A = this chain, B = another copy of it.
Amino acid sequence: MTYCVGMLLDSGLVFASDSRTNAGVDHIATFRKMTVYEKPGDRLLVLMAAGNLSITQGVINLLDEDPSAEIGETIWNVPSLYAAARLVGSALRKIYEIDGGYLKQHGEEFIASIILGGQIRGEQPRLFNIYAAGNFIEATAETPYFQIGESKYGKPILDRLITRSSTLDEGAKCALLSFDSTIRSNISVGLPIDLLCYERDRLRVDVRRSIDQQDPYFCEIKRQWAEGLRETFARLPDPCWGEKLDPI
């Protein structure tokens, strides 16, 4: 299983992905889900992928090529994030063309879900969620984040704490706590967490950390968060139900 979250904030972008791949409980390995395309001063793109690893690795291999083989576009020279998302969609469709029928023969679904975000010189930072069919949606003013993979356990904390005006540090902290909640509830999402924070208009990576269970900052905020939740819970007033029984 996989869990990835990408945030589009006024201050920039935050990306976080786990590193666990499993194809059955006795076939567990560590695979990075995050790929970074950086040409300092020109572009910084981050791609995170969930789903069938053979599909998503295929997509990433195609992105350095020109899937149309005519237009001459690659992830390194497309003029906009929209064009980059189209490119990823085209790569997904090409992999589907190659492998889709064979997967079906073996009863396997074509499952893939991708978050692509970043900034290309001349544009604002943008964030896309690309589906297996190669179609995609873009985060708008009301959407501060996208998740892919095992997203539900870690969603309430994002809904409560993240808005477009959150700082990059707040985004990173909240992403780490969202991973903590997910990892506690689902053993198939695993450390290390790859974390990348991008400050808008920098057009290069400033923060890129691989966070494992010994990471002192992650340990500290996990501890303080757990303690704060327990204290907040302990302070809640007890119910005073009275004698009345409601009909159920």
Question: Is A34 located at the chain interface by the 8 A CB criterion?
Answer: yes
Q: Are B172 and A248 in contact (CB-based, < 8 A)?
A: no
Given A230-B161, A239-B217, the answer on whether A210 and B173 have CB atoms closer than 8 Å is no
Question: Is A232 located at the chain interface by the 8 A CB criterion?
Answer: yes
Copies of this chain present in the complex amount to 2
Question: In angstroms, how far is the closest chain B Cβ from the Cβ of A238?
Answer: 5
A217 / chain B contacts, CB cutoff of 8 Å: 237, 239-240
- The answer, among B157, B182, B228, B247, for a CB contact under 8 Å with A210, is B247
A194 / chain B contacts, CB cutoff of 8 Å: 248
Binds B, one of A60-68, A74-82, A134-142, A148-156: A148-156
Q: Are A248 and B34 in contact (CB-based, < 8 A)?
A: yes
Q: Which chain B residue shows the least CB distance to A211?
A: B246
Question: Is A207 located at the chain interface by the 8 A CB criterion?
Answer: yes
Q: Are B238 and A232 in contact (CB-based, < 8 A)?
A: no
A209 / chain B contacts, CB cutoff of 8 Å: 241, 246
Given A224-B232, A233-B174, the answer on whether A184 and B169 have CB atoms closer than 8 Å is no
Query: Using a Cβ–Cβ cut-off of 8 Å, how many residues does chain A contribute to the interface with B?
Result: 54
Question: Is A225 located at the chain interface by the 8 A CB criterion?
Answer: yes
A245 / chain B contacts, CB cutoff of 8 Å: 205, 207-208
A241 / chain B contacts, CB cutoff of 8 Å: 197, 206-207, 209
Question: Is A25 located at the chain interface by the 8 A CB criterion?
Answer: no
A196 / chain B contacts, CB cutoff of 8 Å: 248
| Complex CA distance for A6 and B40, rounded to whole angstroms | 54
| Complex CA distance for A185 and B158, rounded to whole angstroms | 10
Question: Is A221 located at the chain interface by the 8 A CB criterion?
Answer: yes
Question: Is A226 located at the chain interface by the 8 A CB criterion?
Answer: yes
Q: Are B197 and A181 in contact (CB-based, < 8 A)?
A: no
Q: Beyond A152-B153, A228-B232, list 7 extra A-B contacts (CB 8 Å).
A: A36-B248, A161-B229, A161-B230, A194-B248, A205-B245, A209-B246, A210-B246
